[in-house]
Structure 1
Amino acid sequence: MIELISWLFVAWVPIQYFILLILARTHWKSWGTATEPLPQVSIWIALRNEEENLPRLLQSLDRLDYPKEKLQILLADDQSTDRTGEILSQWAQNRPNVVWISALRDEKSLTQRNGKANALAQLEDHAVGDFYFFTDGDCLVPPFWIKKTLAGFSERTGLVIGITRVQSETWLGKMQEIDWWNTLGIVKVVNDLGFATTGLGNNMAIRKEAYQACGGFSGIPFSLTEDLEISKAIQKKGFRMEQVVSPENLVLTQEENNWKALLKQRKRWMAGAMTLNLGWKIMLGMQVLFFVGLGMMFFSNWVLALVCWGVKLVLQGLFFRNMSMRTGQRLLWRDLIFFDFYLLAAYSLTILYYFWPSPTIWKSRPY
């Protein structure tokens, strides 16, 4: 019985990646680039203590290939304690299409919305676009980000997410980068099949009608993963969701530079994962149980266990490389081989940290 259970846990994940590889090649959706007439667009960004990251974000916004008369940029300073507000004020000068506000927080907002969702909700009355784009303060957006993402919208599409790559300078950062290819690759395949997936707060666009229909960030329930929550609300209103994966809409984000920061991030993400439907929970759970089954198999037949592990490494590596090459990136096998060691540590520590009786810390706020 134990051997059967171990076989079930170990076989599931390689089979899953084999199926994902086939689906990625047979059901992949691609789009062109939006053409004239281009719609009015509003970019929404909530910022808290982003003094170090702001210059490169603002430079990337200046380089956007989109008509200035059709582009509005909305920036909310979420009670920063550094020079974020000062930098925003200076940058907004002589840019008539830029609006920045200092977000307010009261007792009601503390219980109804997280800090980011609260700041974004306060931008609602300022938005004039027909499509709302979202990214984060630690990101770098490419010049054709808007045009490429807009191409993913059809008549009943309410939300389009893009693709995000972690800029890695360390081994831990490289593992985070691969982890993102893993997650977003699975999301892409599942989304292209027409099943519900998740929002992506640092690379996401929402049709105005869909945002208003679901109540926006001021109307969704409290959540530490507001992008997931609003995507669920939009899909419940009957709007479709798409994911556009291309070099033209590849957003770059910063790595978490140590395990402590990474676990804080993953504890928050796990809170969101616990609200997913049963199918997603099974898929994510089997990723963890693979290592449990592998350990059980190791004691009875270590050679077979190594073979099974090798098959998994090859299949998932091929899937990651297929996903990254779609955006002009290339992953090295020397990094992919060590990914499972990171994954085992990350899964184990995240589960322990999630159930540890301590608050979730996000942007220096406890939840």
Structure 2
Amino acid sequence: MLWFCIGIVGLILIQFVVLLFRVKFFWKTHQGKLSTEVPQVSILIAARNEEKDLPDLLTSFEQLDYPADRIQFLFADDQSTDRTAEILVDWCAKHDNASLLSITSSQNALFNENGKANALALLGEKANGDYYFFTDADCEVNPAWIREGVGAFAENVGLVIGITQVKALSLMGGFQEIDWWLTLGFVKVATDLGIQTTGLGNNMVISKAAYEQSGGFKDLPFCLTEDLEISRAIQREGFSIAHQVSPGMLAFTKPESSFSKLLNQRKRWMSGVMTLPIYWKLILGLQFGYFVGIIALIAINPLVGMSLALIKILLQGIFLVGIANKAGVKINWLYLLVFDFYNFNTTVLTILYYFWPSKTKWKSRIYPCIT
């Protein structure tokens, strides 16, 4: 039992050593090619009941460092019951390059039962850009977002993932920020290795060619993780994915405001995780197995267990600091030192909640349990 637990913990330590090695010596930065060429771009935003956060996104759009006549803003009000539509109508009236689609009851679930995927599919029919940019209505983007995103495309790249930071205003928000850095750190290393990963719904760019050839959002099967599904569709068509982690591609999102909302988010994400290839499930399963192993080790031999736990925390922290630094962000080491306590509890509850026979609530809609 002792050596079995040491073996599991040892694999995690080796994992982080490999991750650190990749970040240090094999980091891929996708250099910009946008010097004289200024292609037309479309920005597609699906919004539902976002009156609180939408103004921050619109303000960030007004600060974009890109010719306004080369940007097409496309918004979809997905049957909001708050002031979302009013805010968008007012903003679009002030910007000649912006338009709003108000989704009617007859258009609801026209292409997909997933409300967001359906809204984006409808917007995709109106997009005229050479590149389609996607973010969420509760996000903010960097002024260099478009230039950096377009510049990251190279031959055969169909989708570019950006990097997103959770704006931590509380202890819970701080832990969510670290969690996002960890997840996107794995995605970055895997993408650089050419391993199939995912899109990032709140910060990604798809070339027009890849979008049209893959069928876009309108041809996706029902899913609660539309960014994962469209990345699969694009890769099936022979396109590759690039992950640009840089200050220019940095976007900001809001943390979940309560633990119940966080679990709903994770339940939705788990529906996508369960469709991943077996090697991803083994890697993710190993992350949970580490906690089982380290708890057993601490119970059997506290000195060995605590020593290995500290080594893991330090390796993980150095990895996360390295990823964040690439995006021009400094991480609070206090969160890093205690993050595993949060991560263990969240992981256990997420697994339990995923298999609990309940429906998923997302954007004021109820979706069936997917297991």
1:4 matched to 2:9? The reply is: no
- The Cα shift of 1:245 comes to 0.7
Give 1:83's aligned amino acid.
R
Secondary structure class of the residue paired with 1:238? coil
1:28 matched to 2:27? The reply is: yes
Matching residue of 2:62: 62
Q: Deviations over 1:98-129 (max 9, x none)?
A: 01101235598279330100111111221110
How far apart, in 2, do the equivalents of 1:18 and 1:199 lie?
26
- The Cα shift of 1:171 comes to 0.6
Q: Is the 8 A contact 1:214 1:220 kept in 2?
A: no
Q: Deviations over 1:133-185 (max 9, x none)?
A: 00001000110001011111012110000000000000110000011110111
Cα distance change of structure 1 residues 353 and 112 upon mapping to structure 2, 3 Å threshold: same
Matching residue of 1:149: 149
Secondary structure class of the residue paired with 1:172? helix
Q: Is the 8 A contact 2:108 2:118 kept in 1?
A: no
Matching residue of 1:268: 268
Matching residue of 2:125: 125
How far apart, in 2, do the equivalents of 1:108 and 1:70 lie?
30
Alignment of 1:1-367 (within 5 A): 2-33=1-32, 34-106=34-106, 109=109, 112-367=112-367
Give 2:8's aligned amino acid.
F
Give 1:113's aligned amino acid.
E
Q: Deviations over 1:25-49 (max 9, x none)?
A: 1111113332221111000000000
Query: For this pair of structures, how many residues does the alignment match?
Result: 366
Percentage of pairs with the same residue: 49
Q: Is the 8 A contact 1:111 1:222 kept in 2?
A: no
Q: Deviations over 1:218-266 (max 9, x none)?
A: 0011110000000011001100100111111100000112211111111
Cα distance change of structure 1 residues 30 and 229 upon mapping to structure 2, 3 Å threshold: same
**More off after superposition, 105-114 vs 88-97:** 105-114
How far apart, in 2, do the equivalents of 1:325 and 1:108 lie?
42
How far apart, in 2, do the equivalents of 1:273 and 1:164 lie?
19
Cα distance change of structure 1 residues 247 and 294 upon mapping to structure 2, 3 Å threshold: same
Q: Is the 8 A contact 1:104 1:119 kept in 2?
A: no
Q: Is the 8 A contact 2:41 2:70 kept in 1?
A: yes
Give 1:343's aligned amino acid.
N
Please give the root-mean-square deviation of Cα atoms over the aligned residues, in Å.
1.4
Q: Is the 8 A contact 2:111 2:121 kept in 1?
A: no
- The Cα shift of 1:291 comes to 0.6
TM-score (norm. length: structure 2): 0.96
Give 1:313's aligned amino acid.
I
**More off after superposition, 98-107 vs 36-45:** 98-107
- The Cα shift of 1:68 comes to 1.1
Q: Deviations over 1:179-233 (max 9, x none)?
A: 1110111111111111111100000000011111111100011110000000011
How far apart, in 2, do the equivalents of 1:94 and 1:342 lie?
45
Structure 1 consecutive aligned stretches of length 4 or more whose deviation exceeds 6 Å: none
How far apart, in 1, do the equivalents of 2:192 and 2:265 lie?
27
How far apart, in 1, do the equivalents of 2:10 and 2:111 lie?
44
Give 2:221's aligned amino acid.
P
How far apart, in 2, do the equivalents of 1:198 and 1:207 lie?
16
How far apart, in 2, do the equivalents of 1:231 and 1:277 lie?
14
Structure 2 spans left out of the alignment, 5+ residues: none
Give 1:14's aligned amino acid.
L
Give 1:17's aligned amino acid.
F
Q: Is the 8 A contact 2:30 2:153 kept in 1?
A: no
